Amino acid sequence: MHKHILIATDGSELATLAVRQGLDLARQLGAKVTIITATELWSIIEMVRHAHDARNPIEAYEELASEHARKVLTAAAAIAAEHGVACETVHMKDLKPSEAIIETADKSGCDLIVMASHSRCGVNKLLLGSETARVLALTKLPVLVYR
């Protein structure tokens, strides 16, 4: 069956439920687990909005993104520990989440991707599209989608 599961999370409530389900599956299968979160490249529009700030807006964004990723991965690793599953955590910077997920799955030799069906809602989901849909469309690996 599956020997190495990649679990993607953005820290949202639904993604956390998917983390729990992925870890349950990994425990049952005795599979290795890698948990990933991704932060996208800073937006030029946001940088222009904050250009008047005394602080470098790119540096500020990078610090906030890294801190958020650290919190998300620390929480996911704690859930893994509760489930009795060892895991590796990965923060991919400056990539769309779908690209980071696929790249990490390929590089790590994962044979299954677990992720939530969505994290964005409303207009943002319509405008930005679904990262889950992109992963489904672009990867050759099986994807277990938690709804």
Residue 91 sits in a domain of what CATH number?
3.40.50.620
pLDDT value for 50 = 67
**The amino acid at 70:** R
Average pLDDT, integer, range 127-145: 87
Beta bridge partners, 4, equal 32
Answer with the residue of higher pLDDT: 87 or 55: 87
Whether 128 has a pLDDT exceeding 60, the answer reads no
Measured between alpha carbons, how far is residue 34 from residues 50, 53, 60 in Å?
Answer: 35, 38, 28
| Domain of 90, in residue numbers | 4-146
Whether 49 has a pLDDT exceeding 90, the answer reads no
pLDDT value for 55 = 75
- Whether residue 127 contacts residue 113, with contact meaning beta carbons closer than 8 Å, is answered with no
In 3D space, the residue among 26, 14, 27 whose CA is nearest the CA of residue 115 turns out to be: 14
pLDDT value for 54 = 62
pLDDT in tens, 81-102: 999 999 999 999 999 999 999 9
If one counts the domains in the chain, the total is 1
Average pLDDT, integer, range 92-116: 96
How far apart are alpha carbons 47 and 142 in whole angstroms? 37
